[in-house]
Amino acid sequence: MPSRIARFYQGMDGHMRDIVRGASAAFLLRVAGAGLSLGFNIALARILGSEGMGLYFLALSVTTIAAVLGRFGLDGTLLRFSAAGAANDDWAGVRGVYLKGIAFAFVAASIAVLVVEVSAPWLAKLVFSEPSLTDSMRWMALSAVPVALFTLHGQVLLGIGQVRDGIAVLSLWGPLFSLVGIFVLAPSRGVEGAIWAYDAAAVLTLGIGVWRWRKATPQLAKVKAKFRTSELLRSSGPLFWVTVFQMVIVWIPTLLLGTWGSSADVGVFAAASRTVLLTSFILFAVNSITSPKFSMLHKQGDLAALERVAKDSTKLIVLVSGPILLVFWLLPEHIITVFGAQFASGATVLSILAIGQFVNMVTGPAGNLLMMCGHERLVRNNIGLCAIICVLLNVSLIPTMGLTGAAIAGAATLAIENLLMAWAAWWKLKILTIPMSIAR
């Protein structure tokens, strides 16, 4: 393996070396964030137990839906246009897309919060059969606005090349503040205390995001905002549906387990799925650097460099994530019982989900490549199809197979989604992101 890594590194061009340097910093921050997230999930499990953890994640699932709807697909749009603007010194365009995106998200997320606050009793009683969940959902919903806004601040920071600040806002500060808060509030206030900790963490993270953005862009005060609303919506519209469909794929197993299973089942599945997602920080770290690079190279018309960056990025992801996924697949029972003995039933779930995650890694940043090159509608269509597949699989498997059925449905959907993206990247851009070998 070391010789393969050496040959791979020696064959890199300038763009890829930039990515490795940037991704190294992003990787370390993402590792820290992943460690804090794991610590938070373990603390949550130990303090609340599987049932309490299940109630927490049911409330979080509803709030996540509200935050995603509030962002209206602006994540990728702000990243794409802020990267292109910064690369071409178009700071008027950067300021314009930022101001319009933030204003739009604030209004949309606020409306989503009001909907959750009003519908919480109905959702708790009729959908989840957990009347006690009403207050939890209402408290958790308050975080939807700051979560939507700090996510967008993280994206624009990445777009202008502030990788460390962008990653920290997206994945470090929230888990850190939540972990501190849960030890202060959850022991005495239970699920409600854990939710308060999450709310406070979201507000503090937003404050840091706004501060770092203003500090990184003093030049914006000297330019007049200039960006067409039609162009913003033309990009964010398809990406809104991408996020909606992705949300369905991510949360439908949790919601259906909450409906047809127990809160304990939800807690076990949440522990397993969030454990396997620890490997995604590698993909996230690489994507945080490659996405602005894809946008820049496509804008400049350098398709040869675009192809090299896409292929080499996938090789880097596989080299780093492969060994971790192998451990998850071979030793799931040792990993999942870190959360406690009552989570042992999640070992099979973890092993199955690791297979789907491997396909995600080996197909590389195909979806991001398509979005940064202007093929948002194709990405939307692919993920929409996968959302339908996900619902059908979960509805078919969960009633009879429970946790195992949810894991099979999740892994199969993730594999199909990423294979479709890899095929679409080849079809539209003639770029095969799946590596045929690790070294050149």
Mean pLDDT of 280-285: 71
Each residue's pLDDT tens digit, 368-386: 888 888 788 888 899 999 9
Summarised one tens digit per residue, pLDDT across range 223-276 is 888 888 888 878 777 878 888 888 888 878 877 887 787 778 888 888 888 788
Q: According to the model, what pLDDT value does residue 352 have?
A: 92
Mean pLDDT computed over every residue of the chain: 84
Integer angstrom CA distances of residue 330 from 1, 73, 326: 19, 37, 6
Indicate if the pLDDT at residue 1 is higher than 70. no
For the chain, give every domain's residue range: 2-429
Query: CA 127, 113, 406: angle at the middle one, nearest 5?
Result: 40
Poorest-confidence range of 296-305, 307-316, 383-392? 296-305
CA distances from 370 to 60, 284, 373 (A): 30, 16, 5
- Give the tens place of pLDDT for each residue, 310-366: 888 888 788 878 888 888 888 888 888 888 777 888 888 999 999 998 998 888 888
State how far Cα 283 lies from the chain centre: 10
Residue 234: what pLDDT? Answer: 82
Return d(Cα 91, Cα 156) in angstroms, integer.
12
- Measured CA to CA, the distance from residue 32 to residue 35 in angstroms comes to 5
Neighbours of 300 (CB within 10 A): 13
3-state secondary structure of 12: coil
Answer yes or no: is pLDDT of 2 > 60: no
**pLDDT band at 429; cut points 50, 70, 90:** confident
Residue written as tokens 């602006």?
Answer: 74
Look at the chain and count its residues.
Answer: 440
The span from the CA of 382 to the CA of 375, in Å, is 11
Rounded mean pLDDT, 127-133: 78
As given in the structure block, the two tokens for residue 332 are 């799931």
C-alpha to C-alpha distance for 11 and 294, rounded to whole angstroms: 20
Question: What's the CA gap between 63 and 46, in Å, rounded?
Answer: 23
Which has the higher per-residue pLDDT, 127 or 388? 388
With b for 16 or more beta-carbon neighbours within 10 A and e for fewer, the 85-123 pattern comes to: bbbeebbbbbbbbbebbbebbeebbeebbeebeebbeeb
- 101 pLDDT band, cuts 50/70/90, is very high
> Which helix (H) or strand (E) element contains residue 19?
helix 14-71
**pLDDT for 20:** 57
Four-CA torsion 317, 266, 397, 68, nearest 10 degrees: -60
Q: What's the pLDDT score for residue 440?
A: 45
Of 48-57, 99-108, 278-287, where does mean pLDDT reach its minimum? 278-287
Residues 346 and 268 sit within 8 Å (Cβ to Cβ): yes
Q: Is the pLDDT of residue 439 over 50?
A: no
pLDDT of residue 24: 60
Q: Is the pLDDT of residue 203 over 80?
A: yes
